[in-house]
């Protein structure tokens, strides 16, 4: 390979000298914008201000949160402010990265993330704050606390002030595209819990238009919008997961109506089970809720 001509090399070096400050300025501006958006959300939660909360959080997260709360039979937005966890104060944390890709962005911090507890007992961990860009600008969406108790070497590296080498990994890169805002669910006629076992399978469960996913694991959740009187639509889409040949394979779905009074037992409204290790495909399992189902169960 021929050496680069000195004149061309000097041009490239000059170009790099011009670009580097521009990139740094963009990162500084992004950090300030995102931190301001997060502070608006944090202040709204601490004040219990429902209007300010709705204005400071993404529409996607607002609808998801509302759907989850009403599906448990709780009051919205009152329940938003009844969590025992406090919004983390980031002022004492070390910023590792401020990054935006498309309409998604995040701030990644390291330090003692205090969301409630005795400060001297809080370990050093990672905190990722996620944001989405909407018509009105960047808004806070959600946070993720990443525990480092099983990675003492990484924690030691970060404590020493070194720059981590994992920032380019997919899980530490904003996805680039904001998720679609889900439809607002109805207030449930019957608050309904689901227990789903997807052992040895990758499964997608759809109940009355709302999707749930399980990848070789068990899930427990409230059905978004609950179930209604009359016909309810349920669909399973299943394919075998990559597990050892002798591993158990089981698909089992149970739906239970929440008791209306304390001391009463929940009624099982739906049951499906399949142990065929070769089972794969799409199956529709509509079910009816009527007076007999609610009194006797299935």
**pLDDT recorded at residue 40:** 98
Residue 249 region by backbone torsions, left for phi larger than 0, else alpha for psi between -120 and 50, else beta: beta
Distance CA 46, CA 87 (A): 8
CATH classification of the domain holding 163:
3.10.450
Segments forming the whole domain that contains residue 233: 192-296
Mean pLDDT of 7-25: 55
Same domain membership, residue 220 and residue 282? yes
Average pLDDT over residues 200-228: 95
Same domain as 164, residue 41: yes
Residue 2 lies in a domain: no
Shared domain check, 153 and 234: no
At residue 192 the predicted structure's pLDDT band, cuts being 50, 70 and 90, is: very high
Q: What is the pLDDT of residues 111-147, one digit of tens each?
A: 999 988 777 789 999 999 999 999 999 999 999 999 9
In a domain, 186, yes or no: no
Query: Among 109, 139, 172, which residue terminates a domain?
Result: 172
> Kindly report the CA angle at 141 between 55 and 28, in degrees rounded to 5?
95
Identify the domain boundary among 140, 172, 204: 172
SS (H, E, C) 57-117: ECHHHHHHHHHHHHCCCCCCCHHHHCCCCCCCCCCCCEEEEEEEECCEEEEEEEEECCCCC
């Amino acid at each position: 390979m021929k050496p680069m001509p000195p004149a061309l090399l000097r041009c490239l070096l000059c170009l790099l000298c011009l670009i580097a400050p521009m990139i740094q300025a963009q990162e500084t501006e992004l950090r300030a914008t995102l931190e301001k958006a997060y502070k608006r959300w944090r202040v709204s939660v601490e004040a219990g201000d429902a209007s300010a909360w709705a204005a400071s959080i993404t529409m996607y997260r607002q609808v998801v949160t509302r759907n989850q709360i009403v599906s448990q039979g709780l009051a919205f937005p009152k329940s938003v402010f009844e969590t025992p966890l406090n919004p983390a104060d980031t002022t004492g944390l070390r910023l590792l990265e401020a990054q935006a890709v498309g309409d998604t962005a995040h701030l990644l911090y390291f330090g003692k993330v205090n969301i409630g507890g005795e400060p001297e007992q809080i370990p050093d961990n990672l905190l990722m704050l996620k944001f989405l860009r909407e018509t009105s600008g960047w808004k806070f969406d959600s946070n993720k606390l990443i525990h480092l108790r099983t990675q003492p070497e990484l924690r030691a590296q970060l404590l020493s002030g070194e720059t981590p080498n994992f920032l380019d990994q997919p899980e530490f890169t904003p996805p680039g595209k904001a998720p679609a805002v889900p439809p607002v669910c109805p207030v449930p006629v019957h608050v309904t819990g689901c227990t789903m076992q997807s052992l040895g399978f990758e499964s997608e469960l759809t109940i009355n238009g709302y999707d749930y996913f399980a990848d070789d694991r068990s899930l427990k959740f409230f059905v978004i919008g609950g179930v209604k009187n009359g016909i309810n639509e349920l669909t399973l889409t299943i394919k075998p997961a990559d597990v050892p040949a002798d591993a158990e394979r089981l698909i089992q779905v149970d739906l239970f109506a929440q008791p209306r009074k304390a001391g009463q037992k929940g009624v099982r409204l739906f049951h499906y089970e399949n142990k065929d290790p070769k089972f794969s495909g799409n199956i529709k399992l509509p079910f009816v809720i009527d007076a007999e189902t609610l009194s006797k169960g299935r």
